[in-house]
Amino acid sequence: GENVEQHPSTLSVQEGDSAVIKCTYSDSASNYFPWYKQELGKGPQLIIDIRSNVGEKKDQRIAVTLNKTAKHFSLHITETQPEDSAVYFCAAMSSFQKLVFGTGTRLLVSP
Amino acid sequence: DTGVSQNPRHKITKRGQNVTFRCDPISEHNRLYWYRQTLGQGPEFLTYFQNEAQLEKSRLLSDRFSAERPKGSFSTLEIQRTEQGDSAMYLCASSLMGPRANYGYTFGSGTRLTVV
């Protein structure tokens, strides 16, 4: 089955810097790759996603890139703000079945 | 629609007791998923339904766990004879699959189970 690895496990940046989180997946049949943000005591919230027929997608300060050949995808956050501090999860879906999640990255943005 | 609703938010139970959690998905969503999340980890898949049919169960789901979605709307997750290792956040999510699919899950806020 699918296996998703995520790095780094923690990331500390200064406000205004960029943050990059990377994930790799194992199943070449995976075709949908979302990113979720989870704040303390809440369920994960979808922030951006990308499908296998697209290489890059942007939404304001957030972007995701996908390299299907290498089986990895990345989340890029520019001009980070303290409210970006949270745990971020990547995930992959194979054959429109279920999502398999990475282990999460705790992002801390210091003012 | 107010999103995915889970009840209760918190549950403390003694080891050996049975517990039941409820999930009300977004009304037009035909898929409903249950995940378990422990501290510092990503959500782990437990089971999912398409309408009322349970399509897949994880090996994590021992015979003490059972899930239902009797009318293709809300779902319940029951844990019998709870063990301390069952302590976790239980997350429910729903999504729309089919011609108008968007694939993305909408999660509820979860039910935090503590077994003492």
pLDDT digits (tens, 9 = 90+) for B17-34: 999 999 999 998 999 999
Are A74 and A21 a contacting pair, CB within 8 Å? Answer: yes
Inform me whether the pLDDT recorded for B61 exceeds 60.
yes
Evaluate whether A47 touches A58 at the Cβ level (below 8 Å): no
Residues of chain A with pLDDT under 50: none
CB contact under 8 A, A89 and B44: no
In the prediction, which pLDDT does A90 show? 98
Phi/psi-derived region of residue A17, left when phi > 0, alpha when psi is between -120 and 50, beta in every other case: beta
C-alpha pair distances (Å), A70 with each of A8, A19, A74, B77, B97: 18, 21, 12, 38, 28
B45/A99 Cβ within 8 A: yes
Confidence of residue B51 (pLDDT cuts 50, 70, 90): very high
Determine which of A3, A27, A98 to mutate to test the interface with B (most B C-beta atoms within 10 Å).
A98
pLDDT of residue B19: 98
Residue-wise pLDDT tens digits, A15-33: 999 999 999 999 999 999 9
pLDDT of B100: 66
- Please tell me the distance from the alpha carbon of residue B50 to that of residue A81, in angstroms, as a whole number: 39
- pLDDT of residue B1 exceeding 60, the answer is no
pLDDT score recorded for residue B60: 78
Determine the Cα–Cα distance for residues A41 and A44; give it in Å rounded to an integer.
10
Q: Please report the pLDDT score of residue A53 as a whole number.
A: 81
pLDDT bin (cut points 50, 70, 90) of residue B2 is confident
Q: Does B74 touch chain A (CB under 8 A)?
A: no
Is residue B112's pLDDT more than 70? Answer: yes
- The C-alpha atoms of residue A30 and residue A28 are separated, in whole angstroms, by 5
**Can you list the positions of beta strands (E) in chain B?**
5-7, 10-13, 19-24, 31-37, 44-50, 53-57, 65-68, 75-79, 88-95, 106-107, 111-115
- Residue keyed to tokens 């200064």: A14
Question: What is the structure's pLDDT at B104?
Answer: 84
- CA-CA distance, A10 to A4, in Å (whole number)? 17
Q: Could you tell me the CA-to-CA distances from B63 to A67, B75, B97, B115 in Å, in that order?
A: 40, 18, 28, 18
Look at residue B90 in the predicted model and tell me its pLDDT. 98
